[in-house]
Amino acid sequence: MKWWLLIFIPLGFAPGVAFGQSFSPDDLVALSSCNLKYADQFLKKKGFMPDPGQVDYRTMTVSYIQNEIKTNEENSRDDSTVTRSIDICNKDGIKCFTWRTTSEEEFISGKAQLAAKGFVYDHDVSLYQDTSLLFQKGNITVETMREVTGSDMVYCFILKKKEYPDPKSIRYADDLLHFNSNEYLVGFFGAGNIRQDLYYFSENDLRKCTVLFPNSNRQAVFVWEDQKNLRNLSCIIISDILPTVDGKHYEGALLGNNQWVLKNGIYCGMSVKELLKLNAADFEIFGKRSEFANMIKPEKNGNIDFRESGITFNCPGCDYNNLFDTSLIKAKDIAGENLPVTVAYINIFPEKLK
């Protein structure tokens, strides 16, 4: 039996019963750790009942509702009644829990509780005045927002929990694409193996990044699209020498070349001759007259699809070789000169280069 069908099993209480229990971010986090088959048991204890009318079979979303009925001295319903609901869905390995409440007080205190529990957020926004915030901790994100439903103002906490990959599955550099935020990296690899830094795209263009295993032969740089929240992967850079603020001042030496290898076999320190053999076909490299100097042209011509990653070479002394004084160079021509051209940077992108 599917977990989302279990909510229709009678739970021992009838519609119309009023409950006075509150709900908190702690409860939401605890709910996300429950086996989804037993979520209804957890929510029953919190005074929620299934809402069959709100089941969405297309998205596999189930809903629960709780009404906190308050009465005045005349024993009639008070305008301060608080309505709460929980939606649960599980899609593409990500569990999603949406908690809605009509209580602004719960909304404000809930954000403060998340901050107190160690969830990180953008401190340039106001914890109490801004409604749209993002909280992160390990493999959990919580987005807050408000929305108008009918005549009511409803406040939302949307928790998403992405399961960690099996450690044994992280073997190649490409496997690092699983990690889409600084907090997710911290949760998987541990805070001691992570460092926040600034990456030099140019002297005037610095981008916030996260360095995994800094100053080691397993180092990798994660550059983020969302610079405020350090999430949404822009690219991963694999190299022996890191053009970052901290890396620029590192005076030690790595123990050999960077050990991360792409699934297609490319690694830092690989010679152009080795890469020609691996590709089983010639390919082109941008010359000095191109803004992409020393990078392989992103196309597929042979065994390797160079659109999946940006491969940049290093060649000491090649600046004075007329062979490079052009826009494009054949890899076979470089190999024929026996020049010391080796892979220096591997850029891995979530999508192919166009």
Question: pLDDT tens-digit profile of 3-48?
Answer: 333 333 333 333 333 444 678 999 999 999 988 778 888 998 888 9
d(CA 221, CA 194): 10
What's the pLDDT score for residue 225? Answer: 96
Question: What CA–CA distances, in Å, run from 278 to 34, 133, 193, 305?
Answer: 48, 47, 33, 12
What's the pLDDT score for residue 61? Answer: 81
Q: Report residue 289 as tokens.
A: 């007259």
> Is residue 351 a contact partner of residue 307, using CB atoms and an 8 Å limit?
no
What residue type is assigned to position 239 of the chain? S
Percent of the chain with pLDDT over 70: 85
What's the pLDDT score for residue 15? Answer: 37
What's the pLDDT score for residue 32? Answer: 93
What's the pLDDT score for residue 3? Answer: 39
d(CA 33, CA 16): 29
What's the pLDDT score for residue 11? Answer: 34
What's the pLDDT score for residue 17? Answer: 38
What's the pLDDT score for residue 70? Answer: 52
Q: What is the largest CA-CA distance in the chain?
A: 96
Low-confidence ranges of the chain (pLDDT < 70): 1-21, 53-60, 67-80, 248-255, 353-354
> Is residue 266 a contact partner of residue 344, using CB atoms and an 8 Å limit?
no
| Helix, strand, coil share (%) of the chain residues, nearest 5 | 25, 35, 45
What's the pLDDT score for residue 73? Answer: 54
What's the pLDDT score for residue 241? Answer: 84
CA atoms within 13 A on the CB side of 60: 14
What is the value of pTM for the model shown?
0.85
Q: Which helix (H) or strand (E) holds 141?
A: strand 140-149
What's the pLDDT score for residue 98? Answer: 96
